[in-house]
Amino acid sequence: MKKSSQFLKYIHEGIRDLYWVSINEFRHIFADRGVMLIFFVAGLAYPLLYNGIYKNEAVYEIPVAVVDDSHSLESREFLKKFNAAQEVKISNRCLNMEEAQKLFRAQKVHGIVYIPSDYHIRLRNMEQATISIYNDMSSFLYYKGMTMATSYTMLDEMNKIQIERYNAAGITGEQAKMIVEAIPSNNTALFNPGSGFASFLLPALLILIIHQTLFFGIGMLAGTAREENKSHSQIPERLHGKGIYRVVLGKAIAYFVLYIAISAYILGFIPKLFNLPHIGNIWTLFHFIVPFLIATIFFSMSVSVFIKNRETGLIAFLFFTLILLFLSGFSWPQSNMPVFWRYLSYLFPSTHGIQGYIKINSTGANLAQVRFEYVWLWAQAAFYFITASFTLSYIVKREKLAKIKD
């Protein structure tokens, strides 16, 4: 009976301490304008900003210069079909390549199509003809649009020329079409049917916004506490020893409560508002985001021990953002990364968060199909909870010693 009473007392004290720490952390958050700016303004505005920039998804009517030395019916037919593609627009017809190159270097056009003088002669003699395409590789989108328009036009022209040649050989009608296209193909772009850049990039950025704003905000709070020498003075004496984990949990509860609502806005509302991929089950997504937030919070609290002032958090935020984006493996397959960088990426919750979110939200995966990322996030949450407890305990002891010496 006595043990039961002591256990209930211990539970009651634990709940009371968690409540006190959480409320105290809420006070710090809402009293700090910089943290409020990061958590709420940046957390709410960044998704709108990025989606506004990439709203059009793809680049259309890329200006292209044409040099037609063939001046034939065949070359005009090719250019007519090429110009009909939505990706490109023939903006300049040049007399020679020198004129086209001047426009290209001045960035007035982003591609050049050159049709040689023997183009129609070779086609009429049933020989192989060539067309030269020059792409602007300063932007992948220009290259992609130019290549797609050229490929579709060439495929259509090749089919037409092959059918004409079979007709000349006495093979006509459906028989000629079946020979030309013996195995019909039907290309279907899964999960991103419009091949849009926003649908490819923004799901990863949404997770990174959550990760980095949490990291930056927690770092700012830690840096401010050290600047004002408040780190241990605002924690009750009874929590300076074995109860330090209650401080870590209490702070984490405050951040989690705020960010579960912000995450619902970023990951639930924003994709539907801007028509990004959102075919995942909402409850599967919720179950996945919970360990991601917990792991990110404890990771940020662990790293915050190295943040001596508010400015340090900003430097770390700027330094890590692009690195984490590339390490996540959404733009370059992790299987093709060097082993060192692949395993290094496993240290950051953003890596598994981005991979899992894309699988759930963009491809409709269930929780079993993201088991690897899900388990890793819970493992990170446990590991970084321990490191956060140790680092906070270390800070409290160090500051106590410094106060005694003073």
* pLDDT one-digit tens code per residue, 33-45: 888 988 988 888 9
**Hey, which bits of 160-272 come out as E strands?**
none
| Cβ atoms of residues 259 and 344 within 8 Å | no
Instruction: Give 182's pLDDT tier (boundaries 50, 70, 90).
Output: low
Residues 6+ apart with CB under 8 A from 371: none
pLDDT at 233 over 50: no
Report the largest interatomic distance among the alpha carbons of the chain, rounded to a whole angstrom.
103
CA 215 distance to own-chain centroid = 17
Q: Could you please report the per-residue DSSP string of 50-82?
A: HHHHTTT-S--SEEEEEEESS-SHHHHHHHHHH
Average model confidence (pLDDT) across the chain: 83
CATH number of 62-180: 3.40.190.10
Q: What is the pLDDT of residue 54?
A: 77
- How far is Cα 301 from Cα 251, in angstroms, rounded to an integer? 9
Alpha helices, DSSP H only, in 169-196? 173-180
For residue 385, which of 203, 248, 265, 270 has the smallest C-alpha distance? Answer: 248
Cα separation values, 258 from 40, 58, 222, 271, Å: 9, 35, 18, 20
pLDDT at 406 over 70: no
Across residues 234-254, what is the average pLDDT?
73
User: Which is higher by pLDDT, 126 or 250?
Assistant: 250
Most confident of 253-267, 319-333, 334-348: 253-267
Residue found by looking up tokens 């923004």 in the block: 202
Residue 232 confidence (pLDDT) above 50: no
Of 282, 295, 285, give the one whose Cα is nearest residue 375: 295
| pLDDT band at residue 169 under the 50/70/90 scheme | confident
Q: Residue 231 pLDDT > 60, yes or no?
A: no
SS3 347: coil
Model confidence over 186-217: pLDDT tens digits? 666 677 766 677 778 888 889 999 999 999 89
Asked if 368 contacts 374 with a C-beta cutoff of 8 angstroms, the reply is no
What single-letter DSSP state applies at residue 238?
Answer: G
Q: Which one-letter amino acid corresponds to residue 53?
A: I
Window from 90-104, 202-216, 275-289, 390-404 with minimum mean pLDDT: 390-404
- Spatial separation of the C-alpha atoms in residues 263 and 192, rounded to whole Å: 23
pLDDT > 90? residue 386: yes
pTM of full prediction above 0.75 = yes
128 secondary structure, DSSP code:
-
- pLDDT higher at 392 or 398: 392
On whether the CB atoms of residues 229 and 399 are closer than 8 A, the answer is yes
Where exactly are the structural domains of the chain?
A: 2-55+196-405, 62-180
Residue type, 218: I
